Structure 1
Amino acid sequence: MDYHNPAECLALLNRLHPVNVDECQGALSAIVCGLLEAMPPPNQHLEVLEAAREQIAFVQDEYARRYAAHPLPPDSEENKTLLTVVALWQALARSYAHIARRDAASGTLEEQGPLLMQRRMHYTGLALLEYLRAHRAVPAGMWADLHECFVVAEQSGRIRVRVNEPRNEVWKAQSALEAYIAVLLIELANPYARSERELQLVCDWATRFAPYCDIGHELDPARPTAYGLDLAMDHALRPVGMLKRVDTVRSFDGTRLASQIQAMFAHLKSGATPASLGLGSDCPIDLARRLLVSLYRPWGLASAGRRFPRRGARGTTSLCGDWLAIGYHVEGRIFEQPRAFSGPKSLRSDISLMTFGERAEEAAPPASLQEREQAAERLGFAGVRWQVADQSVSGFRLRQLKEHERLEHHQLIGICPPDGEHYLLGQISWLMYRADGIMEAGVQILPGLPKVVAARVVTLMAGNRTPYSQAFVLPEVSALKSPPSLVLPHGWYQANRVLELVIDQQLRQVRLLKSLSHGPNFDQVSYEDVAPVR
């Protein structure tokens, strides 16, 4: 097969079968790289690239699924897959750039100039976005490459000209400027804090909403939290207050997008479906609402700044993500069915409470944090040590010290601050591997000192014998406007559901009110007392 011949490449495209993804990806890469090396006539080169677009998009998406579900370590086997995907995107971007440069003298493809610029911008952006998808730091130079595409398109005077773009499901068209803005919006959406599904929606919505944003020349010094960017720097948008007043600086305007997001949210509240609004045919309405709320400020208004400033910190912290291990570290003992439970007791409970018909003497739980840590090691509940990079009132930025248990976005974890004696509850805010292979994680602390409680759902059947499950109660923290709450296993929350709790051997019934937060392994909810149980 001669991958330097456009006619043979077109014939091969008709024979490729996407079922064999690896074979298809290899052939497509060979076609793109072979033509880039041979540099055939620009019009023939462009014809092959355009004919291959749908197949390339499908195969690349299938490859990306192999590493998009969890943060991808640089030394993992699937890192080769990431590099393969990025290499093809970059080869496509270079191909369209070469076609534009080689055609500049003859002008044969003069009318295709806007398309060549949009395609180059699109593929340069996709190469960068793969690192966000893999929750990896963007390599040096990739933002600079994207800015270079913008400069070339801006100088042409046709950066706003829309061209046919079937990959844009709503508009079916896109300009080079809109392709550029879409990448900027995705970076603003805190991609390292998104699950695979959420990030895919963010990417789709960025393409959907890019036409409502603009890039200008005038910075507004009266709005230091508004966004801008320096085309000479290797990074994305920054608050205007952080940028120097130089010729390469541009302003970012998302005010029209803010109004659009408000309108979308109003339509969802009035009963419209996400599909009818162009937000995705398979997007649940509750997820659409939640994502719109989280994107409203960064996309439509300005940088929010930090509610609580970070400060440098030293030391290490212990972190655990197993549900029962969290309870052990919080309470200093393994969760057991309360004595008030009238159902069949566990084997462990039988052994620990009775010996030959008499009550056995129970061992007191470890008193100090050090003793609890040592006991946890013996029980298999030991936490993993992380280095504290910095911290604020609301959480920590951590760096891994060694291999750790796999964490998920928004997962509930237990964490002991470097200077603390008690474990707190936290939620994983974001995860990212740095270029040197070190994982960083953001942890948001759930306010209040947690306490382990036993919980079960109240049923209408007499003599409820359902076993209790471990849960946590958090007190009100008025300074942070945080109400008292329960932290329950994932899936337990239903509005107005009544639970029976055992707290300090006292029975209580509570009604669940509102969801405050949730993740793959927990629901945090507000509640109210129903009535004392006698």
Structure 2
Amino acid sequence: MDYRNPASCLSLLQKLQTHKVDECHTVLSDMVAGLLEALPAPNQHLEVLEAARPAIAQIQAALSQHYAGHPLPPDSEGNANLLRVVALWRNLSRSYAQIARHDAQMGTLDDQRALLGQRRVHYAASILIEYFRAHRAVPHGVWTEIHESFAAAEQTRLASARVADPLNALWKAQSAMEAYVAILLIDLANPFGRTGQELQLICRWAQRFAPYCTLGPMMDGLKPTSYGLDLASDHGLRPVGLMSSGNMVRRFDSEKLAGQIRAVFNQFKQGVSPASLGLGEEATLDMSARLLISLYRPWGLSSAGRRFPRHGSRGEIELCGDWLAIGFHIQGRLFEQPRSYGIAGSLKSDISLLTFGERAPEATERDGTTHRQRQLDAERLGLVCERWSLLDQSVGGFRLRQRPHAERLEHQQLVGIRPLDGEYFLLAQVSWLMYRDDGMLEAGTHVLRGIPEVVGARPLAPHPGQRELYQQAFLIPAHAKLKVADTTLVLPGGWYHPNRVIEVTARGHTVQVRLTGQLIKGANFDHVSFETLAPEAE
């Protein structure tokens, strides 16, 4: 097959069997690469690329499913698929750039300048999205390609001109500026901390909300934490306080976007479905609200400030992700069914029994065993913690690195952690995961502030006389010195329902509590607030 001939390529596109993903991807990749090398007439080259766009989008999406949603190690089988997808996106971006350069003297495509610019930016940005999707460190030069594609569109003075784009889910049109802003928004959305479904929604929403953001010249009086952009850099938006001035520096303004996000929340309160607001058929109201809340600060407030600044640190941290193993390392033994079923009057009155700080010297654990003895017991039971290198830390969490072993982590999972020089085993949530090219896995963790205690929890039996088995859960008592204002519970995932009543037992004291709020909805846990029921109310 002659992939260098536009007429032959158009004929082949009509015969593609898109259900054969690997075969079809090879054909499309060879076709795009062949035309890029052959330098056909610009109008014919453009005709083939535009005709191939729907099939390319379908096949690329199918191939990326092999690695979407989970961190992809560089030495895994899925890495070949990532490289294939990235290579096709890159050749597409370069193809539209080549058409523009080739036609510069001929002028046959003057009316397509805006389209060529938009397509080039869109496909350059698609490269970056694949690395986000695979949770892989972004290679050097990827951002540079994106910036160069937008700078070229700016030079035509058509960067803000919208062109038809049937692949744009909501608007069916997009400008080069909007394609550029969309990838900036995706980068701001903590992409390495998102599940595959969340990232897919974020990509869609970035296209939806991009028209409400602008890029303009720098100006005096901006807050140091406001976002700016340097087109000569190899990264995305940064705080303007860290940037120097120059003709390649831009100010990012999302004030109108903040109003749009608030308007969407108001629509949610009125019961309007996410699908009718252009947020996607697969987006539930609850999921959309949580995701949009997490995006409001970086997208709507255009602020890069961290609540807890990070500081460089070195050392090691013990970490485990198995639910029962976390409990073992907190209390020094495996969770067992409680022997006492008596109902106490108030859990608050029992919290005085759950005190922490009465510890013997030389790392004696709460149950009287030494830390070394606990390690031996963990090895015997197969509950050993893995050791991670500490890169930096803040009041809110840690950034860790490790060459992965047996245990596999997922986003928003509950883990137990303990710095080697720390006194207590703490609960934390995995905030983000990212593989580097050398095979090292980096992870960000957010610590649930407070010192946890293992408790038993069970739902109330549906019929009198029936009793469910207790399951391991965690109590985090209020602690004035640690600035933990309220006592909370960490329950297995899916347990939280508003006003649900469950039974909690700790150290022989059992009470019924009503769940009053969900503080964190994790991948495998619910962090909740509660109120204790008085005996007569039970």
User: What TM-score bracket applies, with the shorter chain setting the length?
Assistant: over 0.9
Contact 1:153 1:159 in 2 (8 A): yes
Is structure 2 residue 495 aligned with structure 1 residue 492? yes
In 1, distance between residues paired with 2:202 and 2:436?
22
Contact 2:29 2:88 in 1 (8 A): yes
Determine the structure 2 residue equivalent to 1:16: 16
**Deviations for 1:390-442, whole angstroms, at most 9, x for unmatched residues?**
11111101011442411111000011123213210100011111232211101
**Deviations for 1:82-128, whole angstroms, at most 9, x for unmatched residues?**
00000000000111111111111110011011101111110011011
Determine the structure 1 residue equivalent to 2:478: 476
Aligned AA for 1:490? G
**Deviations for 1:165-189, whole angstroms, at most 9, x for unmatched residues?**
1111211100011111100000011
In 1, distance between residues paired with 2:9 and 2:473?
61
Determine the structure 2 residue equivalent to 1:454: 456
**Deviations for 1:270-324, whole angstroms, at most 9, x for unmatched residues?**
1111011111111000111111111111112122422222222221111111111
Contact 1:219 1:228 in 2 (8 A): no
Alignment of structure 1 residues 123-522 onto 2, 5 Å: 123-340=123-340, 367-477=369-479, 480=483, 482-522=485-525
In 2, distance between residues paired with 1:243 and 1:386?
33
In 2, distance between residues paired with 1:21 and 1:126?
19
Q: Any stretches of 5+ residues in structure 2 without a counterpart?
A: 343-365
In 1, distance between residues paired with 2:403 and 2:106?
58
Judged with a 3 Å threshold, the aligned counterparts in structure 2 of structure 1 residues 41 and 384 are, in CA distance, closer, same or farther, namely same
Range with greater deviation from structure 2 (482-491 or 270-279): 482-491
Contact 2:189 2:298 in 1 (8 A): yes
Determine the structure 2 residue equivalent to 1:122: 122
Identity percentage of aligned residues: 57
Range with greater deviation from structure 2 (458-467 or 171-180): 458-467
In 2, distance between residues paired with 1:36 and 1:197?
34
In 2, distance between residues paired with 1:277 and 1:59?
28
Determine the structure 2 residue equivalent to 1:356: none
**Deviations for 1:322-352, whole angstroms, at most 9, x for unmatched residues?**
111111011100111111269xxxxxxxxxx
In 2, distance between residues paired with 1:480 and 1:31?
62
**Number of equivalent positions:** 513
**Deviations for 1:370-405, whole angstroms, at most 9, x for unmatched residues?**
221221011001111100111111110101144241
Contact 1:45 1:99 in 2 (8 A): yes
Cα root mean square deviation, aligned: 1.6
Aligned AA for 1:281? E
Contact 2:322 2:415 in 1 (8 A): yes
C-alpha displacement of 1:458: 1.4
Q: TM-score, normalised by structure 1?
A: 0.94
In 1, distance between residues paired with 2:479 and 2:223?
33
Aligned AA for 1:457? P
Q: Any stretches of 5+ residues in structure 1 without a counterpart?
A: 343-363
Contact 1:268 1:285 in 2 (8 A): yes
In 2, distance between residues paired with 1:50 and 1:438?
39
Judged with a 3 Å threshold, the aligned counterparts in structure 2 of structure 1 residues 481 and 156 are, in CA distance, closer, same or farther, namely farther
Contact 1:74 1:433 in 2 (8 A): yes
Q: TM-score, normalised by structure 2?
A: 0.93
In 2, distance between residues paired with 1:532 and 1:509?
8
Q: Give the match's secondary structure for 1:15.
A: coil
In 1, distance between residues paired with 2:455 and 2:146?
53
Range with greater deviation from structure 2 (455-464 or 247-256): 455-464
In 1, distance between residues paired with 2:111 and 2:268?
41
Q: Give the match's secondary structure for 2:99.
A: helix
**Deviations for 1:414-473, whole angstroms, at most 9, x for unmatched residues?**
111232132101000111112322111011111111111111111342223211111110
C-alpha displacement of 1:220: 3.7
In 1, distance between residues paired with 2:518 and 2:511?
20
Aligned AA for 1:453? V
Determine the structure 2 residue equivalent to 1:58: 58
In 1, distance between residues paired with 2:269 and 2:56?
38
Contact 2:96 2:120 in 1 (8 A): yes
Contact 2:321 2:414 in 1 (8 A): yes
Q: Give the match's secondary structure for 1:523.
A: strand
**Deviations for 1:193-212, whole angstroms, at most 9, x for unmatched residues?**
11111111000000111110
Aligned AA for 1:454? G
Is structure 2 residue 29 aligned with structure 1 residue 29? yes
Contact 1:447 1:477 in 2 (8 A): no
Contact 1:366 1:372 in 2 (8 A): no
**Deviations for 1:462-508, whole angstroms, at most 9, x for unmatched residues?**
22321111111001245645521111111111111111111101111
Contact 1:507 1:532 in 2 (8 A): no
Range with greater deviation from structure 2 (147-156 or 479-488): 479-488
